[in-house]
Structure 1
Amino acid sequence: MNTKTTHLINIINGLLKGNRLSSIDIKASNSNQYFCTIKNNGIELIEVKKPNLTNKGYHLERRLNLTQKNINKAKKYLHKLINK
């Protein structure tokens, strides 16, 4: 299993547990790419702009849209990643 797959598995597990995640929560370069990959696989994320604590910018806080259909998509994609 490669590093990208491992990051995706960890992110999806966190989202399924109801966690709110942002790119600063992930110890990887260009961590926003993982959220894009998740969305490109048909999984809907709710994204909210939050101000940064250290500068005048902002970051996106993301969580899974908790519809049953979306949860099932996330579980199916997670299962696919685990079995690669």
Structure 2
Amino acid sequence: MAVDVLTTMKELLGEVQEDVDNPDASYKLRTARQLLSVLEQRNEDLSMAVSEAVSDDELLDRLRELDYIQPAVDDFAG
């Protein structure tokens, strides 16, 4: 869910940025979008670290269900 929220926010900011003629406002919107990308990457890194550190599959599944961590990349492979 956190990734969906960040993606939606980036898309909305991008749409607004296209409609803004003020260079200062456009700069601030672009910066906000970049900061959201940083948060998204940190979220992915944290999810990977938790997945690697926790060996209990049931606990990992529960954390994923609660959207505390993202599904592993391997979960989408098959």
Structure with the largest fraction of helix: 2
TM-score w.r.t. structure 1 length?
Answer: 0.29
TM-score w.r.t. structure 2 length?
Answer: 0.31
Whose radius of gyration is greater, 1 or 2?
2
Structure with the largest fraction of strand: 1
